[in-house]
Amino acid sequence: MMKLLAVLVMLLAFCALFVWTLGARGSGAYPLLYPQVLIGGVCLMLGVLALQQVRDVRRARMAGDVGGEDDGFAWQPVAALAASFVYVLSWTSIGHVPATAIFLFIALLIAGERRPVALLVFALGLTALIQLLFIQGLRIPLPRIPWL
């Protein structure tokens, strides 16, 4: 139940942030479009995660496990939220490409992935895909590495 509560709090926080950005000057255009897409995606993922948590709680109750499988502190959602904020704040200091690769690496660690090759391939591959999508496909520039 604690995991569900943590996910719901984060879902509300990200949805409020998304709605707030819609009213900001420059909404729907660079440089605000990328964070809006990112925040919207996080809202969708947290919504799916919340539905999964509700399903798991219902299954546990139907099986007779009143407390659920784990009523401890839900550190993964809190760590993911903290990593997300550090990720966004690091764009201006280290640039989008290194920040994204590091963030994805850490996010996979939080999710439980421990194979080094899988961590590197996924983090670097998805970073390259995001770069191609925004720069080539959507023609939206992303924050560059400041010292280059």
Question: Taking Cα atoms as reference points, which of 136, 125, 117 lies closest to residue 97?
Answer: 125
pLDDT tens, position by position, 4-22: 666 666 666 766 766 666 6
Ranges 8-17, 77-86, 111-120: which has the least confidence: 8-17
Q: Please state, in angstroms and rounded to a whole number, the distance separating the CA atoms of residues 110 and 108.
A: 5
Segment 35-55, tens digit of pLDDT: 667 766 776 776 777 777 777
Q: What is the distance between the alpha carbons of residues 37 and 45, in angstroms, rounded to a whole number?
A: 12
What DSSP string runs through 20-70? Answer: HHHTSTTTTSTTTHHHHHHHHHHHHHHHHHHHHHHHHHHHHHHTT-TT-S-
Distance CA 33, CA 22 (A): 10
Cβ neighbours of 3 (radius 10 Å): 23
pTM: 0.57
